[in-house]
Amino acid sequence: MTLTRRLALAAALAAPLAAAPAMAQTQITVQHALPANSHTGVGASTFASAFERLTNGRYKVVAQRNDNEREMIESVQIGTIDCTFTSTGPVGNFVPEVRIFDVPFLFRDATHARGVLDGEIGQQVLARFPARGLVGVVWIENGFRNLTNSRREVNTPADVRGLKIRTMENQVHMRAFTQLGALPTPMAFSELVPALQQGTVDGQENPISVIVANNLNQVQRFMTLTRHVYSPQVMICNPAMMARLNAADRALFQQAAVEAQTANRARVTADDEAGVAELRRRGMTVITEVDTAAFQAALAPAFAEWERTLDAATLRRIREWRAN
């Protein structure tokens, strides 16, 4: 067979392959507010790789950063993005039942918080999302929030008085800091660093993992391990996108979300264990001995208010939760 005939035969054999359509691939967009190398970024990337693997590449998941969490939630609601990994702070403006988890000193430790969220109480709250045009897929986390500032060491509740503290757009958090005599200033996370640099606010409160990942030590001198609020995150998706998944793919989607949850929580645990030493290495003054009872006593009027305005029975169930 001549070279010309061999080339013609090869072209003829390849033609049907070239004409065949490529395997259909559906893209899903997931946004999150923190750097890729953070507990949130790790959760999003784990979900992406897991869902692509579980569906043999029929889905492509694109993870993007967006520092404005409220904007992300609104985008999921209207369907301009498919999913978000977001702190629950702004979620209470969409699903009010979520605010119950924002009450200070509600959870004893991570085991308590994760047990409540993964159990009946947490699932009952996720069931409230569809009525608000959202689907709550799985609880992930930020961890316990701690106070930082650029003005002074905070050792007692009295030391908080007069500090301008950036908070999330969250009524429960703002009420707590008002009760302590601070001046809470709600703003999107994207505005935080410029506000700290310019002195618009003196401090902020976030888990160690967020403080480390965003180098907040560069604009804050002092951190106090107040652990005043356990901060959940939640994976939220657009209902129409979820409805387009068949039953089998929806199960794989949930499996990938649980893998993301595991990776996210592992990173938070690791950051908490190493974070104090790392922040001290970077030059921060870190106060680790905190009189939690004094902070709880200072918040007593706010606690009484939350008992009236939130679900007192569920608050009691959360406080009384114990691992089996």
Tens digit of pLDDT for each residue in 92-107? 999 999 999 999 999 9
Domain-located, residue 18: no
Domain-located, residue 12: no
pLDDT of residue 204: 98
pLDDT of residue 125: 97
CATH number of the domain to which 152 belongs:
3.40.190.170
pLDDT of residue 36: 93
pLDDT digits (tens, 9 = 90+) for 248-274: 999 999 999 999 999 999 999 999 999
pLDDT of residue 25: 85
pLDDT digits (tens, 9 = 90+) for 151-206: 999 999 999 999 999 998 889 999 999 999 999 999 988 899 999 999 999 999 99
Domain-located, residue 17: no
Domain-located, residue 132: yes
What string of H, E and C letters represents the secondary structure of the chain? CCHHHHHHHHHHHHHHHHHCCCCCCEEEEEEECCCCCCHHHHHHHHHHHHHHHHCCCCEEEEEEECCCHHHHHHHHHHCCCCEEEEECCCHHHCCHHHHHHHCCCCCCCHHHHHHHHHCHHHHHHHCCCHHHCCEEEEEEEEEEEEEEECCCCCCCHHHHCCCEEEECCCHHHHHHHHHCCCEEEECCHHHHHHHHHHCCCCEEEEEHHHHHHCCHHHCCCEEEEEEEEEEEEEEEECHHHHHHCCHHHHHHHHHHHHHHHHHHHHHHHHHHHHHHHHHHHCCCEEECCCCHHHHHHHCHHHHHHHHHHCCHHHHHHHHHCCCC
pLDDT of residue 310: 93
Domain-located, residue 249: yes
Number of domains in the chain: 1
Range(s) of the domain holding residue 144: 25-320
pLDDT of residue 169: 86
Residue 11 pLDDT greater than 80, yes or no? no
pLDDT of residue 4: 43
Domain-located, residue 310: yes
Domain-located, residue 15: no
Domain-located, residue 97: yes
